[in-house]
Structure 1
Amino acid sequence: MQFTISIPKNFPAMTVKEALEDYFLIPRKIRHFLRTKKHVRVNNQTVNWQSPIVAGDLLELRFDTEDYPEKSLPLGDATLVEELYQDEHLIIVNKPEGMKTHGNDPTEIALLNHVSSYVGQTCYVVHRLDMETSGAILFAKNPFILPILNRLLEDKRISREYLALCQGHPKQDNMTVRHKLGRDRHDRRKRIVDSRKGKAAITHVRLLEKIGPNSMVACQLETGRTHQIRVHLAYEGHALLGDPLYSQKTAPRLMLHAQKLSLTHPFTLEDIRVTARSASFEHYIEHMKSEA
């Protein structure tokens, strides 16, 4: 596995050592292999570990099989994948509702398997969407970029915006929900607001439109807890339509869709922004408007 990265003009000044350790987050053992095997080159030259990397340089990294052993996955159906963006290192696709992001056991086929079949190599989950949720979702195409994308997610530098159709009308056009979330002791599928033992969870909610007795809202995640939007809105008295766990109001599907995803590419510093659409989500919204 070999990568050649063209250092963009806005890349922060650093040494080879700093780049591998602090920016690319390469584990110590693998950094040792890169150094002893002389598998790091800049502009086609073997470099000192303290050599600087500057704009315009070509950084070459070569990994052996033992550095990153390939993970084996059963391949899925490539025709089920709707690509929103793809390059050498990552892919963003539009997940349909009713499909798991990844399987619970090695033989279960899910979106991860379909994406791996689509790109022709094993991919890796960066974040997940609930099975009932549709929309934009990001996968790493190699284990090299995976920890970097994970760090961007933890540092809140991957932005995700959801559309949701919820019951009632929020009292404010903009609100931030900060209830801590934990597991439901009585139902392992569910999450609950738990102010004592729960983990921090922050959702920013913006009212977009009132549709009869319901509301279309945009939700921006600051954290990514399981069922976060669903539980937060339900606790505020605005459960999502079609939610099989937290709502009594039926709909053909869970009315939650990950509409937008954006990030700055860690290697090219390119701003990547995608918008995902869902025919089933949009069709039901139009139906509700006609009924209102």
Structure 2
Amino acid sequence: MQKILKDAQKAYKLLSLQENCSNNEAKSLIDRGLVSVNGKKLQIARALLSPQTKFQIQKPNAITEIFRDSQILALAKPAFLTSEEVAKSYPQWVLLHRLDKETSGILLLVKDQSEFHLKAKEAFKQMQVKKHYIAIVEGILEEECEITAPLLIKKGKSAKVEISKNGEGQKAITKIRPLEISGKKTKLDIEIKTGKTHQIRVHLAHLKHPIIGDTLYGAKPANRILLHAYSIALLGYNFVCPPPEEFTFKDNL
């Protein structure tokens, strides 16, 4: 044991040797959630690991265009890119909403301060936007349910959201419907009436069924957080983006 600790090196340095890249590039890969060891996402770039460690690196899928007209641009956002990083590729457009970095699926952009932009923002405010997500969670969920626990957002370097214990906080409504059960995992269809920070993730963790890979809210590590923005409908538009292959049940989920 002492020899292993003595020979151990920082993860990003070992990765830079394996991939023949700079230490900064290796650290960035780890920080972005793209590096796994034995099927589990590596969380800490400075973690001490054996020199024999073998890393697996995921490459984000390409951004693909679902629909475009003069008012709206619908994109399929891959996991491991922030919404802001996606938007940089489309300088004539601005984000209408956001998805978490590891959440894949439909992302909408509009022309800044256009008439449609203002109408769309009001539709979100009035809860007139219909959004469905697909998630795979830990444990078995057999019944439909609606979660209305209000949320408290803790400010800091990174967002962390909690359920309000005194009933105060931001209104949040999440409806869940089981689609498929495999072993001790459940695939869910999720409809949200509101779009608060980490709403789905926190509400599912509140049910004691965190999303696979969502270590921030109590799940075991995995290659990514298995949450996908499947469909969105607003102001006469209706877009669908099928989930990637990791949402097909496999033994290694």
TM-score of the pair, normalised by structure 1: 0.61
CA distance in 1 between counterparts of 2:246 and 2:149 reads: 32
Root-mean-square deviation (Å): 2.1
Q: Which residue of 1 aligns with 2:208?
A: 237
- Of residues 228, 234, 246, the one that matches 1:283 is 246
Could you list the runs of 4 or more consecutive aligned residues of structure 1 that deviate by over 6 angstroms after TM superposition?
none
Please state if 1:199 is matched with 2:170. Answer: yes
Corresponding residue number in structure 1 for 2:150: 180
- From 255, 262, 267, the equivalent of 2:226 is 255
Q: 1:94 aligns with which of 76, 87, 95?
A: 76
- What secondary structure is seen at the aligned counterpart in 1 of 2:250? helix
CA deviations 1:77-123 (Å, max 9, x no partner) are: xx943111111011111111111112xxxxxxx1111133xxxx2x1
The unaligned stretches of length 5 or more in structure 1 are 1-78, 103-109, 265-270
Say which SS state the counterpart of residue 89 (structure 2) adopts. Answer: helix
For the pair shown, the structure with the greater C-alpha radius of gyration is 1
Alignment of 1:112 with 2:87, yes or no, is yes
The answer (yes or no) to whether the contact 1:81–1:114 under 8 Å persists in 2 is no
Change (3 A) 1:275 1:284: closer
* Structure 2 residue identity aligned to 1:165: I
Which residue of the partner structure matches residue 146 of structure 1?
117
Q: Give ranges in structure 2 of 5+ residues lacking alignment.
A: 1-60
Matched length: 191
Give the conservation status (yes or no) of the 8 Å contact 1:241–1:247.
no
Higher mean C-alpha deviation, range 221-230 or range 176-185? 176-185
Percent identical pairs in the alignment equals: 27
With normalisation by structure 2, the TM-score equals: 0.70
For residue 185 of structure 1, report the CA deviation from its aligned partner. Answer: 6.7
Distance 1:204 1:155 in 2: 18
Q: How does 1:7-22 map to 2 (within 5 A)?
A: none
Q: Which of 67, 76, 81 is matched with 1:85 structurally?
A: 67
Contact 1:89 1:142 in 2 (8 A): no
- Compute the displacement of 1:184 (Å): 3.5
Deviation, structure 1 residue 171 = 4.9
Secondary structure at 1:115's aligned position in 2? coil
1:126 to 81, 96, 111: 96
Deviation at 1:147, TM superposition (A): 1.4
1:165–1:217: 8 Å Cα contact kept in structure 2?
yes
